[in-house]
Amino acid sequence: MENQEQSGKRLVLVPGPFHGHLTPMLQLATVLKSKDFSITIAHTQFNNPDSSAHPDFTFLRIPDGLSEEEVRNPDLIAIMLRLNVNCESSFRECLTQGPDHMEPVDKICCIIYDALVYFSETVARDLKIPSIAMHTSNAATNLVRPILLQLKAQGHIPVPDSMLQTLVPLHQPIRFKDLPLSNFGSLDYFLEAVVLMHKIRSSSAIIFNTIHCLEESPLVRLHQRYQVPIFPIGPLHKFAPTSDVRLLQEDTDCITWLDKQTHNSVIYVSLGSIAKMNQDQLLEMAWGLANSKEPFLWVIRPGSIPDLEWIESMNEEFKECVRDRGCIVKWAPQKKVLAHDAVGGFWSHCGWNSTLESICEGVPMICQPCFGDQKVNARYLTHEWRVGLELEGEIERGTVERAVRTLMKEKEGEEMRQRVLDLKRKVDVSIDDGGSSCHYLSEVVELLRSF
């Protein structure tokens, strides 16, 4: 506290308004708070974070001007483009004529913003405040995203079936089918957003929630691409374990259930905070798990299956079959689950946070990417780090059953477990004193103090 008063440095952090973006930004805020900065979280009304969970931060709500109809739009990219247009002037106003408790704008030493909310950089530049961009996806995705436009111009996007397995030149191991395309709405909107997100403009540096030991080669190439310093300071959840955003009430009973299971016996299943599945996929997943005969803990988010409240379509036969072996919840304390001794595998959509969390606990994965960077992450998990099995094609119970058995019971799965444990040890070294992430974090703090 004393130091904070002495330094008087205030940072404004602007998270992207999605669960997987809010969490790492709040983790970064917690880390920077511990380095004696005062923190303001400037957030959109859309998907606003719960300020009561973070009493140490000041929260500033940016009026985003989205109508109820716009908020209901399933095309999240269209929402982002609109938000960036709407928020530019309202953010500027918030900073210059904000509430009484806001410090004068000249006390703000830097604006750190999620690359999704690039309007923040325009405002920072206008107000002559230094800014830093943060990407919450990995370095490999950031390397390949900007070439999407060029691939479209060459007629390779949408990707023709004949090219799905072809490696993208200069971006191995990524194949055309792994390109981080969105499956929300219009391709043109998406490509427009990609260009805007990747412009570095006046920002002084770029932060990545990744780790040098995982992405050495993509990071080297990003260093060459950008003229500003790049700071891979992940995994942020290890530096700030307590600053999670909870999308839903966590079901802690599942930990009691895990306590009764044996070492490495349970497969944990979750497709994150956005991905949806249809009723057929739900049934194929369910019967694949049931037929594998392995214990499972499965997160099914309410609302993730169109036209269903939750899992009311699952019949008694299934429930009876998995009664002693399955636990289904609406939202789990994922990091605790992955750290639990009973969990031996993670069937995941491969969101970047989930990927990092699994690697950090040494848990091998079944990869079922749905869209965007998840496809790049899955390809790295299966072909670069070789700690995950790819679930290819349509979800079908036979394939699911085989994949679960392979991961949990067979030699191939055990080899993946050994490799992910090796990776975990490397990550542990990175976050220790003198490790790469720790070093880059000190550099970020030094840069911020210099502003």
Residues that bind ligand UDP (CB under 6 A): 19-20, 23, 270, 272-275, 299, 331-332, 334-335, 351-354, 357
**Nearer residue to ligand UDP within complex by CB, 336 or 405:** 336
**Nearer residue to ligand UDP within complex by CB, 91 or 331:** 331
Q: Smallest distance, Å, CB 203 to ligand UDP?
A: 23
Q: Smallest distance, Å, CB 388 to ligand UDP?
A: 14
Query: Rounded to whole angstroms, what are the CA distances from 205 to 36, 92, 177, 445?
Result: 20, 21, 31, 12
In single-letter form, the type of residue at position 294 comes to E
Q: How far apart are the first and last CA of the chain?
A: 21
Q: Smallest distance, Å, CB 209 to ligand UDP?
A: 10
Q: Smallest distance, Å, CB 335 to ligand UDP?
A: 6
**Nearer residue to ligand UDP within complex by CB, 265 or 353:** 353
Q: Smallest distance, Å, CB 132 to ligand UDP?
A: 21
**Nearer residue to ligand UDP within complex by CB, 124 or 140:** 140
Question: Residue 216 has which token pair?
Answer: 């050495």
**Nearer residue to ligand UDP within complex by CB, 130 or 362:** 362
Owner of token pair 């070789």: 386
Q: Which of 364, 368, 357, 362 is nearest to 332 (CA)?
A: 357
Q: Smallest distance, Å, CB 348 to ligand UDP?
A: 7
Q: Are 211 and 232 in contact (CB under 8 A)?
A: yes
**Nearer residue to ligand UDP within complex by CB, 67 or 249:** 249
Largest CA distance in the chain: 65
What are the two backbone dihedrals, phi and then psi, of residue 163, each rounded to the nearest 5 degrees? -105, 0
Question: Residue 235 has which token pair?
Answer: 């995994």
- Which SS3 state, helix, strand or coil, does residue 348 take? strand
Q: Are 348 and 354 in contact (CB under 8 A)?
A: yes
Beta-bridge partners for 221: none
